[in-house]
């Protein structure tokens, strides 16, 4: 009986941790998107990179990678080639096979 109760508590703790991680990922992504929409691209880049580093296999990570590619392309279009390349290099360091 004790082992069943223990397993239930462990499962509850795991589910709670998963819920907190999902909420954190979602919040970080919304923060990054808010910075992006306000044209505060450096802040957005920092948040998106944090998502990729901390939650590499999440759907939020994939969304953050797409946003970073968009920002990189925008920098390139605006002639800010070093900033564009910096983003690609930083993403490449975190996830060598993603871009």
In a domain, 55, yes or no: yes
If one counts the domains in the chain, the total is: 1
In a domain, 99, yes or no: no
Q: What is the pTM of this model?
A: 0.80
Length of the chain: 99
In a domain, 33, yes or no: yes
In a domain, 49, yes or no: yes
Mean pLDDT of the chain: 88
Q: Token pair for residue 11?
A: 């499962």
In a domain, 68, yes or no: yes
Each residue of 23-44: pLDDT tens digit? 899 999 999 999 999 999 999 9
């Amino acid at each position: 009986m004790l082992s069943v109760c223990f397993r239930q508590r462990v499962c509850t703790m795991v589910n709670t941790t998963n819920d907190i991680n999902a909420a954190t990922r979602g919040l970080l992504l919304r923060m990054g998107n808010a910075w992006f929409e306000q044209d505060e691209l450096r802040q957005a880049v920092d948040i998106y990179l944090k998502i990729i580093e901390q939650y590499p296999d999440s759907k939020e990570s994939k969304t953050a990678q797409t946003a970073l590619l968009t920002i990189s392309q925008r920098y390139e279009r605006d002639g800010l080639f070093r900033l564009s390349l910096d983003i690609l290099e930083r993403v490449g360091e975190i996830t060598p096979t993603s871009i």
